[in-house]
Chain A
Amino acid sequence: DGGITQSPKYLFRKEGQNVTLSCEQNLNHDAMYWYRQDPGQGLRLIYYSQIVNDFQKGDIAEGYSVSREKKESFPLTVTSAQKNPTAFYLCASSIPTGYNQPQHFGDGTRLSIL
């Protein structure tokens, strides 16, 4: 079945450490997105990519980095510059053209600070 796979499900980060969250999709979607969700709140966009080797900052990109070397993969690195990384991270993909296309989401990664 087609879908989006995020790993790991749970991740712990030590102070000063960079960690990378994986996102893989087999839906053949060109566009991919990373969102952050804090408890009891909605989703905020971190980065998005419309095509391979191209990505754009979202609303809260500071302290994060991404790469898009393959269509299927859009990993997110939470750097030590992100001072409050504890949150739920969701990856999504979609067909980029047209405003009627829904984004499909993975099951998320919960990141906590040790």
Chain B
Amino acid sequence: AQKITQTQPGMFVQEKEAVTLDCTYDTSDQSYGLFWYKQPSSGEMIFLIYQGSYDEQNATEGRYSLNFQKARKSANLVISASQLGDSAMYFCAMRDFISSGSARQLTFGSGTQLTVLP
């Protein structure tokens, strides 16, 4: 069974600085996808970035980048130039892939609450 571990319950960062949110995963599958979601206090889940297990380059989406280290089974999210609006809960999730056409669930970590300080 898949497992996602986020060891930082809470993180603080100064506005305009970069921050790294940790995520490690455990799976026996060779093909899988890793996702990061942002959940503001209002509750909606916002998709941020995706990394496939076979992708050779780290994913980037604007100020978000994913530091993917496959051998260490880690997929840390890096937010550059933090903004006050980045304050939210951040979840790492993994989706495995058994065969074409198979819908697989997302397994979520417990989340990291990020607070950006002015």
In angstroms, Cα B50 to Cα A103, docked, is 11
Q: A50-B103, A99-B96 are in contact. Are A42 and B110 (CB under 8 A)?
A: yes
**Inter-subunit contact A43/B42 (CB<8 Å):** no
Q: A99-B97, A100-B50 are in contact. Are A108 and B105 (CB under 8 A)?
A: no
A22 within 8 A of B: no
**Inter-subunit contact B106/A103 (CB<8 Å):** yes
A84 within 8 A of B: no
A7 within 8 A of B: no
Q: A41-B110, A41-B111, A42-B91 are in contact. Are A104 and B103 (CB under 8 A)?
A: no
A107 within 8 A of B: yes
* Interface 9-mer from A12-20, A62-70, A73-81, A90-98: A90-98
A residues near B110, Cβ cutoff 8 Å: 40-42
**Inter-subunit contact B108/A99 (CB<8 Å):** no
